[in-house]
Amino acid sequence: MNTGILDVRKTYNYLRKTQTHLVQSSEIATACVCQNLFKLDYPYGAIRSDKDYLIANTVHDIMSLCIGGPIIENWQYNSNDYENLTEKIVHDSYNIINEIINYTLDITNRENRSIQHDFKDRIDEIYHGLVTGICKRLMKKYDKPDRIITEITITNIKDHHEGRIDALLEYHHGYGILDWKTYDLNKTISGREKWQLIANNLLANYRYCQDEDDWNRYNFSCIVHNGGAYFPKLETIKKEVDKIKINRKFAFEVLCGKHVRAERPSFCPVCDKGMEGSKECLFYQIDSKLAHEGKLPAQYDKMTRQFFAKRYAILKERAETHLHKHVASTLIDQHGEEEALQRLERTGVICSGYFYDFDIEERVVMSRKDADFSLEPRRIVRIIGIEPKRPFLSCISEQASVMDVSNNKITLSFRSKVAVRRAKKQLFHLPIIMMRDELNLTRSMLRPIHQFHKLAADIFIPQELLPK
């Protein structure tokens, strides 16, 4: 028994000294738009928006439940009567929509948060738009899938890549990716959504073919939005994959604290259009230019070094949140999945044998046959449903925190009631493994450092050094 534990502990100790960062698909997309924009998020920590995404999040919740319910149930391939079909689906979704809206309102009331007066109408309108897009474009071109998985997180450790896909449509011969946006894609100019979709395609390839460059199972990918749908061609996607990989490498190296020069594109939708975040971006560009020219005042220079030391310490902590996944992946590579999972279970990193009992609101009670398990209250866990022929970290999963452990029962708190419903639909019927996980609080920790950096610049940099 000790050999197994020792092996796992050695792997932890070894990996702690290496770079265990993972780059999210959304971050790769940002870097594809402009590498300076990525640096604005990491390492600078400049927040570009303080908006409350209540409507967008609620629509996402509705879609994640309806796509596997009324939408797939009413799927009609190549139907010309998309308007009636849309109405039927919207009608059939009425209960789900109402339930989620009431749930959201309940939460906002509990927290005493304000809500816009046309909240319900906006949600109805956006949902109607998305369903129209699916019926008019997606159903027109593609047959009913065998199964739809929603909000699936896929981690590809080898390529330092992770992402959450809105919906994966599974066919016996392949897969399709569906992403939904609550705004009109035709009115956006950054193209960020397209990059995110392609990055997610690499993850889907990994899930279905164990290789991100194997496109044999690819069927289609699509962004449905409030004004229609967007289908990139496979040739177009393949052409852009290199750009995704270059920017993924760039993002990874920035997170690791390497000196990488950010390349500004010929057109940046944020800076060139003066959008939110352009001031911050300009601030850091001037800052690094002055630093490069050695013009920064000594005190400010010293303080900037402190800020960057803190920032990279925070980023190292972000990498630490992915450590368990790296250990699991390394052990699976070394010993095969079965043996690796046994070793991890003996060490208490994972726990298996649970099955679903019942749920109340956001809480789920699960149990197993014996009482000897190593989870403790307040621990964050990833509940993974083992799927045959899929890499361990690409299987269906949800995150939850342990609320209570007693005898052979465990109470888990999910992020929301919607996550519980989703898990009941697509996760709990699978063999369950619970793996230790961590919360990523990087952004909230970087933000004050950015604010103090700006404050210090305001105080120490003389006006004559700044461009007019």
Stretch that binds another protein, among 67-75, 110-118, 162-170, 212-220 (CB under 8 A): 110-118
Under the binding rule (CB under 8 A), the answer on residue 113 touching another protein is: yes
Under the binding rule (CB under 8 A), the answer on residue 276 touching another protein is: no
Distance (Å, whole) CA 279 – CA 47:
11
Under the binding rule (CB under 8 A), the answer on residue 111 touching another protein is: yes
Region 50-69 residues binding another protein, contact defined as CB under 8 A = 50
Q: Contact 193/181 with Cβ under 8 angstroms?
A: yes
b/e code 252-269 from CB counts within 10 Å (16+ = b): bbbbbbeeeebeeeeebb
Stretch that binds another protein, among 36-44, 72-80, 199-207, 346-354 (CB under 8 A): 346-354
Under the binding rule (CB under 8 A), the answer on residue 340 touching another protein is: no
Checking phi first, is residue 448 left (phi over 0); if not, alpha (psi -120 to 50) or beta? alpha
Q: Contact 111/209 with Cβ under 8 angstroms?
A: no
Closest to another protein by CB, 22 vs 229, is 22
The structure tokens listed for 345 are 């279970």
Closest to another protein by CB, 4 vs 163, is 4
Closest to another protein by CB, 231 vs 460, is 460
Under the binding rule (CB under 8 A), the answer on residue 78 touching another protein is: no
Stretch that binds another protein, among 190-198, 238-246, 275-283, 343-351 (CB under 8 A): 343-351
Q: C-beta of 403: minimal distance to another protein in Å?
A: 10
Under the binding rule (CB under 8 A), the answer on residue 336 touching another protein is: no
Q: Contact 392/337 with Cβ under 8 angstroms?
A: yes
Pairing of strands 218-225, 161-171: unpaired
**Which of 175, 172, 193 is closest to 184 using CA atoms?**
193
Closest to another protein by CB, 45 vs 385, is 45
Stretch that binds another protein, among 69-77, 109-117, 118-126, 213-221 (CB under 8 A): 109-117
DSSP state of 256: T
Distance (Å, whole) CA 401 – CA 241:
36
Under the binding rule (CB under 8 A), the answer on residue 464 touching another protein is: no
Closest to another protein by CB, 16 vs 140, is 16
Distance (Å, whole) CA 391 – CA 329:
9
Closest to another protein by CB, 186 vs 451, is 451
Q: C-beta of 434: minimal distance to another protein in Å?
A: 14
Strand partners, 72: none
Q: C-beta of 380: minimal distance to another protein in Å?
A: 14
Closest to another protein by CB, 6 vs 189, is 6
Judged by CB under 8 A, the residue of 2, 242, 293, 388 near another protein is: 2
Cis amide bond preceding 43, omega within 30:
yes
Stretch that binds another protein, among 6-14, 162-170, 195-203, 259-267 (CB under 8 A): 6-14
Helix (H) or strand (E) holding 452: helix 442-460
Pairing of strands 161-171, 23-24: parallel
Distance (Å, whole) CA 175 – CA 173:
7
Which spans in 78-166 are helix H? 82-92, 94-110, 119-133, 139-141
Judged by CB under 8 A, the residue of 51, 78, 112, 389 near another protein is: 112
Region 377-416 residues binding another protein, contact defined as CB under 8 A = 406
Under the binding rule (CB under 8 A), the answer on residue 184 touching another protein is: no
Give DSSP secondary structure letters for 191-233.
-HHHHHHHHHHHHHHHHHHSSTT--TTEEEEEEEETTEEE---
Under the binding rule (CB under 8 A), the answer on residue 360 touching another protein is: no
The structure tokens listed for 142 are 């593609």
b/e code 317-344 from CB counts within 10 Å (16+ = b): ebbbbbbbbbbbbbbbeeeeeeebbebb
Region 283-322 residues binding another protein, contact defined as CB under 8 A = 297, 299, 302-303, 306-307, 310, 313-314, 316-317, 320
- Classify 366 as helix, strand or coil: strand
- Which amino acid is present at 371? A
Region 436-455 residues binding another protein, contact defined as CB under 8 A = 441, 444-445, 447-449, 451-452, 455
Closest to another protein by CB, 131 vs 344, is 344
Closest to another protein by CB, 37 vs 457, is 457
Binding interface with another protein (CB under 8 A): 2, 5-6, 8-9, 12, 16, 50, 110-114, 297, 299, 302-303, 306-307, 310, 313-314, 316-317, 320, 327, 347-349, 374, 376, 406, 441, 444-445, 447-449, 451-452, 455-456, 458-460
